[in-house]
Amino acid sequence: MTRKFFGTDGIRGRTNEAPMTAAMAQRIGQAAGAHFLRGEHRHRVVIGKDTRLSGYMMETALVSGFTSVGMDVVMVGPVPTPAVAMLTHSMRADLGVMISASHNKFVDNGIKLFGPDGYKLSDKDEMAIEALLEQEPRLVPAEQIGRSRRIEDARGRYIHAAKLTFPKHLRLDGLKVVIDCANGAAYQVAPSALWELGATVIAIGVEPNGLNINDGCGSTDPTVLKETVVASGADIGLALDGDADRLIVVDEEGESIDGDQLMALIGSSWHRRGRLRGGGIVSTVMSNLGLERYMNELGLRLERTQVGDRYVLEAMRARGYNVGGEQSGHIILSEYATTGDGLVAGLQILAELVAQDKPASELLKLFEPLPQLLKSVRYGGGAPLEADKVKAAIAAGEAALGDKGRLVIRKSGTEPVIRVMAEGEDEALVARIVNEICEEVKAA
């Protein structure tokens, strides 16, 4: 059965257009709340959000939905997605909700759901909630309506939990760190955690106004971060996205370091210390072939999944891995978090920077990535990947790359685009293949 509303990371869309309307948010609250009503205890849901303007509207609608089916609501305000996951479990809530469209601009919003264990919902749970969305809500009698309240110590709880992941014998004293919070959910917690661990902190992207989240800042646009790192003589720069579940790093020379290199560093260092479980790491089909070859040289595996950090986590849990992530910067360290956590991943990188006493430019370039090109083609409907000419172009590209490269074509799970990625040893060939396939997709 195909999911109608849920994509690879919750429900997402343009605000005030279906499905991202207040009415739909209320229905989602009613459906998700009804699905997680189990037992005779007083049920509780934790709701967090990022800093986009529409978060107020979506939060209010969700509170209305949850309380109408008998759930109490705890609102924690702007906090990172991993904070909501952590608080859901630590507060013994039955459900957690993060209102965020992650790295998208303010015009979009989304709803991410977490189960009582702090993990994102399974396909089975999402399908059950979708089925309830098609039915009339099961409203409770007036005396059973839930209550809502706001707590003020959520950020402090998360900062404390994040700092506990940093090695106790290390400090960040003497290290100058630029942190770009994308004018998003971590604008308070990330600079505070770094400062409390001893770093000299230069914080940018920490003046949210509801409209500037991910706007010329954060992990999707580290231009200002690069300039600031070089101009200030900082040792390293960290860039989070709007809900702080992903991380991109900039070295002291102003060069971007993606999630593949971050996973290589964490995976290899944990392997040397006997901490790595599963015999390797988990990533998606989008990770560079250079990462796979590097892990193989260490006698380790790179297990690939379909795109989406939830699928990475599912493979990690099923097969006993404790390090995984995506090239885009979602880094999952299952000993510390139940989802991607940009701040926690950043602290692991900073710990290695201190422990190995190397410049970031040396520490974070463990393998030479193969030439890789990714392009996106927006489409308005239909099935362009089923067109004969598109299939022929894909087949020709695969034949041209042979066993010296890879070709990945997929529909995005969060927006109406086709993503075309190729990598191989010949950069010109990679570019030609991607461009030819993109042209055929456009024509279709």
Superfamily of domain 372-443 in CATH is Alpha-D-phosphohexomutase, C-terminal domain (3.30.310.50)
Report long-range pairs for 129-135 (Cβ below 8 Å, ≥24 apart): 129/6, 129/28, 129/31, 129/32, 129/35, 130/3, 130/4, 130/5, 130/6, 130/31, 132/30, 132/31, 132/34, 132/35, 133/5, 133/27, 133/28, 133/31
Write down the mean pLDDT value for the chain. Answer: 95
Task: List the single range of 141-145, 149-153, 236-240, 415-419 with lowest mean pLDDT.
Answer: 415-419
Residue 108 has pLDDT above 70, yes or no: yes
Are the CB atoms for 219 and 160 separated by under 8 Å? no
- The pLDDT value recorded for residue 291 is 97
Q: Which CATH superfamily hosts domain 11-152?
A: Alpha-D-Glucose-1,6-Bisphosphate, subunit A, domain 3 (3.40.120.10)
Q: What are phi and psi of 430, to 5 degrees?
A: -60, -45
In terms of C-beta density within 10 A (0-12 exposed, 13-18 middle, 19 or more buried), how is residue 359 classed?
Answer: middle
Residue 175 · residue 199 · CB < 8 Å: yes
Q: What is the strand order of the sheet 11-14 is part of?
A: 11-14, 108-114, 95-99, 44-49, 72-78, 148-150
Determine the pLDDT at residue 7: 84
Confidence of residue 382 (pLDDT cuts 50, 70, 90): confident
Architecture category of domain 259-363 in CATH: 3-Layer(aba) Sandwich (3.40)
266 pLDDT more than 90: yes
Question: How would you class 2 by CB atoms within 10 Å of its CB: exposed for 0-12, middle for 13-18, buried for 19 or more?
Answer: exposed
Q: Using 50, 70 and 90 to split pLDDT, how confident is the model at 410?
A: confident
Summarised one tens digit per residue, pLDDT across range 299-357 is 999 999 998 888 999 999 999 999 999 999 999 999 999 999 999 999 999 999 999 99
Query: Which three-class secondary structure state does DSSP give residue 376?
Result: strand
Instruction: Convert the pLDDT of each residue in 220-232 to its tens digit.
Output: 999 999 999 999 9
Q: How far apart are CA 236 and CA 60, in angstroms?
A: 39
Q: Where are the beta strands (DSSP E) in 224-329?
A: 236-240, 247-251, 256-257, 280-284, 301-305, 323-325
User: CA-CA distance, 86 to 95, in Å (whole number)?
Assistant: 11
Is the pLDDT at 72 greater than 80? The verdict is yes
- Rounded distance between C-alpha atoms, residue 152 and residue 190, angstroms: 17
State residue 312's pLDDT score.
95
Express each pLDDT in 5-36 by its tens digit. Answer: 998 789 999 999 999 999 999 999 999 999 99
Question: Which helix H or strand E contains 378, and what residues bound it?
Answer: strand 372-378
Q: What SS3 class is residue 191?
A: helix
User: On the CB side of 264, how many CA atoms lie within 13 Å of its CA?
Assistant: 25
Percent of the chain with pLDDT over 70: 99
Per this entry, what is the length of the chain?
444
pLDDT at position 310, please?
87
Instruction: Phi first, then psi: give them for residue 156, nearest 5 degrees.
Output: -65, -40
180 has pLDDT over 90: yes
Q: What CATH number does the domain located at 157-254 have?
A: 3.40.120.10
Distance CA 199, CA 409 (A): 42
Residue 374 and residue 376: Cα distance in Å, rounded?
Answer: 7
Give the residue among 51, 8, 74 at the shortest CA–CA distance from 284.
Answer: 8
| pLDDT value of residue 3 | 75
Region for 332 from its dihedrals, namely left if φ exceeds 0, alpha if ψ lies in -120 to 50, beta otherwise: beta
Domain limits, the chain: 11-152, 157-254, 259-363, 372-443
What's the pLDDT at 2? Answer: 66
Residue 157 is predicted with a pLDDT of: 98
Q: What is the pLDDT of residue 4?
A: 84
User: Residue 270: which of 351, 342, 175, 160 has the closest Cα?
Assistant: 351
For 151, the 3-state DSSP assignment is: coil
Question: Are domains 11-152 and 157-254 of this chain identical in fold?
Answer: yes
Name which of 112-116, 180-184, 400-404 the model is least confident about: 400-404
Q: What percent of the chain has pLDDT over 90?
A: 89
pLDDT at 103: 94
pLDDT the model gives residue 1: 52
DSSP string computed for 76-139: EEE--HHHHHHHHHHTT-SEEEEE--TTS-TTEEEEEEE-TTSSBPPHHHHHHHHHHHTS---P
Mean of pLDDT values over 204-212 = 98
| Amino acid identity at 141 | P
Catalytic machinery residues: 102
